[in-house]
């Protein structure tokens, strides 16, 4: 594996052309978020019910242990080394953390951004060698972390542990990532990071569905639109074995499934936008804001930001885009749809479309957080 190249300063066009889903790189001079204290991180996780884990262990000793949260100070080891606290979905609970995602929305789809997981590690802290199915950006907010990477590796997992760790880890290259630097990893690059001192890493994870997940959603959607004549037909059962599934029946089933997939591109784009903005949507409660209160803020010239958990997508030709938010179609003009997709902010122009505004509120896309 070749040494990891630097991209400093960050250039989105060069990143997409040379590195995106191709090869790792270290990005410098781009994002420098202020780290959260460990106490603030644990408190936020407890108050907001965020998934939290304490990982202890060392790659060479293979003595990993995992404790699921909620966690407090009494759960933390007292030796000050070889442990890590992981808190997922911190962007859903902290506006300061969520705003980091705005930088990614300038060149990546909004619906693709999954969450920001914060890893706070003591010296030697790690989560073991593993591989992710998604792109990931590992932003060093404080301290330094040593990373080992491998493109070619033994994919066998160590079944002794709950975590999906590689059993036979053989790194091919390694590097140090300092505060204000970021390691980008495309899918399928195995990696192992170890804190060289007390450090905090913000992991910006992305998400895309698999083929079976797409097919499952499509099947559900098409079943609702079921039309006459679209069912399996048994022309003549075999009298000697009427329960037999014949090759002819299998061929007919294959043809039925192929026909069901023959959607117009425009129809498939809409279904895909619906799925991508509702798949794995972070659950929210109590976000249905008062439409009158939202309208009042907009009338006063105060922009209203979408909730951090809201996911949106555009479909349709340029200049005629349709907006999908949290799996629901929002009937608004294309310029408003593009503006919301680019900024995640509603301005006073939305007051001219009260039905669309109310629909946004009903989807849980607007809330005071």
**Domain CATH number, residue 114:** 2.60.120.650
Do 306 and 159 have their domain in common? no
pLDDT, greater one: 204 or 78 = 204
Determine how many CB atoms are found less than 10 A away from the CB of residue 30.
18
Query: How many separate domains does the chain show?
Result: 3
Q: What is the mean pLDDT of residues 135-145?
A: 97
| Strands 25-27 and 5-7, bridge-based pairing | parallel
- The share of the chain scoring above pLDDT 90, in percent, equals 71
User: Where do we find the tokens 């979905």?
Assistant: 89
Among 219, 253, 276, the domain-final residue is 276
Task: Establish if 232 belongs to a structural domain.
Answer: no
Do 81 and 56 have their domain in common? yes
Q: What is the mean pLDDT of residues 257-280?
A: 87
Task: Give the relative orientation of helices 211-224 and 247-261 as an angle to the nearest 10 degrees.
Answer: 90
pLDDT (tens digit, 9 = 90+) per residue, 35-88?
A: 999 999 999 999 999 999 999 999 999 999 999 999 988 999 988 899 999 999
Do 75 and 140 have their domain in common? yes
Do 188 and 39 have their domain in common? yes
Instruction: Quickly list DSSP for 256-314.
Output: HHHHHH---HHHHHHHHHHHHTTTTPPP--S----HHHHHHHHHTT--EEBPTT--EEE
Do 200 and 109 have their domain in common? yes
pLDDT at 289: 66
Task: Establish if 237 belongs to a structural domain.
Answer: no
pLDDT at 79: 87
Do 11 and 63 have their domain in common? yes
pLDDT at 285: 62
| Strands 345-346 and 65-68, bridge-based pairing | unpaired
pLDDT (tens digit, 9 = 90+) per residue, 274-328?
A: 999 998 888 776 555 678 889 999 999 999 999 999 999 999 988 889 999 999 9
pLDDT at 25 over 60: yes
pLDDT at 227: 54
Q: What is the mean pLDDT of residues 262-270?
A: 87
Say whether the peptide bond before residue 250 is cis (omega within 30 degrees of 0): no
pLDDT at 368: 56
Task: Establish if 282 belongs to a structural domain.
Answer: no
pLDDT at 229 over 90: no
Task: Tell me the pLDDT band of 228, cut-offs 50, 70 and 90.
Answer: very low
Long-range contacts, 335-343 (Cβ 8 Å, 24+): 338/314, 340/306, 340/312, 341/110, 341/312, 341/313, 341/314, 342/105
Smallest CA-to-CA distance from 158 within 86, 83, 62, 82 is with 62
pLDDT at 223: 76
Would you give the distance in Å from CA 86 to the centre of its chain? 16
pLDDT at 258 over 90: no
Do 190 and 257 have their domain in common? no
Task: Tell me the pLDDT band of 225, cut-offs 50, 70 and 90.
Answer: low
Task: Establish if 255 belongs to a structural domain.
Answer: yes
Q: Cβ(194)–Cβ(103) under 8 Å? A: no
Task: Establish if 78 belongs to a structural domain.
Answer: yes
| Structural domain harbouring 264 | 211-227+245-276
Task: Establish if 235 belongs to a structural domain.
Answer: no
pLDDT at 138 over 90: yes
d(Cα 139, Cα 160) in Å, to the nearest integer? 30
Most distant pair of Cα atoms in the chain: their distance = 79
pLDDT at 256: 85
Do 269 and 297 have their domain in common? no
CA torsion through residues 135, 277, 348, 93, sign: negative
Do 18 and 115 have their domain in common? yes
Do 12 and 130 have their domain in common? yes
Task: Establish if 351 belongs to a structural domain.
Answer: yes
Smallest CA-to-CA distance from 369 within 316, 307, 293, 285 is with 307
Do 317 and 268 have their domain in common? no
Where are the extended beta strands (E) located within the chain?
5-7, 25-27, 52-56, 65-68, 83-87, 113-121, 136-142, 145-150, 173-177, 182-185, 190-195, 199-206, 304-305, 312-315, 322-325, 328-330, 345-346
- The share of the chain scoring above pLDDT 70, in percent, equals 96
Task: Establish if 283 belongs to a structural domain.
Answer: no
Q: Supply the pTM of this predicted model.
A: 0.89
d(Cα 259, Cα 367) in Å, to the nearest integer? 42
pLDDT at 242: 86
pLDDT at 226 over 70: no
Do 271 and 343 have their domain in common? no
């Amino acid at each position: 594996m070749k040494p990891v190249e630097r991209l400093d300063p960050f250039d989105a066009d060069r990143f997409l052309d040379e590195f995106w889903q191709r090869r790792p790189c270290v990005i410098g001079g781009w994002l420098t978020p202020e780290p959260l204290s460990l106490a603030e991180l644990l408190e936020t996780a407890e108050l907001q019910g965020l998934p939290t884990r304490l990982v202890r262990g060392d790659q060479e000793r293979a003595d990993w242990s995992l404790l699921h949260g909620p966690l407090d100070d009494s759960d933390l080891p007292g030796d000050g080394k070889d442990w890590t606290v992981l808190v997922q979905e911190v962007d859903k609970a902290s506006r300061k953390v969520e705003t980091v995602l705005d930088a990614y929305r300038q060149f990546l789809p909004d619906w693709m951004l999954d969450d920001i997981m914060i890893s706070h590690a003591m010296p030697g802290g790690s989560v073991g060698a593993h591989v992710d199915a998604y792109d990931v950006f590992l932003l060093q907010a404080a301290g330094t972390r040593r990373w080992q990477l491998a493109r070619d590796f033994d994919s066998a997992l160590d079944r002794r542990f709950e975590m999906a760790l590689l059993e036979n880890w053989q790194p091919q290259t390694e590097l140090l990532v300092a505060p204000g630097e970021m390691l980008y990893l495309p899918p399928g690059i195995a990696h192992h990071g170890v804190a060289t001192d007390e450090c905090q890493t913000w992991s910006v994870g992305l998400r895309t569905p698999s083929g079976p997940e797409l097919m499952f959603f499509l099947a559900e959607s098409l079943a609702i639109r079921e039309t006459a004549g679209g069912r399996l037909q048994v022309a003549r059962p075999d009298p000697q074995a009427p329960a037999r599934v014949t090759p002819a029946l299998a061929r007919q089933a294959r043809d039925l499934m192929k026909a069901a997939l023959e959607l117009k591109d425009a129809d498939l784009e809409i279904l895909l936008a619906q799925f991508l903005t509702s798949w794995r949507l972070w659950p929210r409660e109590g976000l249905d804001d008062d439409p009158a209160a939202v309208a009042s803020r907009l009338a006063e010239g105060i922009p209203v930001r979408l909730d951090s958990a809201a996911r949106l997508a555009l479909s349709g030709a340029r200049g005629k885009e349709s907006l999908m938010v949290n799996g629901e179609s929002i009937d608004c003009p294309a310029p408003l749809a593009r503006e919301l997709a680019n900024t995640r902010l509603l301005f006073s122009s939305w007051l001219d479309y009260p039905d669309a505004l109310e629909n946004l509120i009903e989807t849980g896309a607007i809330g005071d957080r």
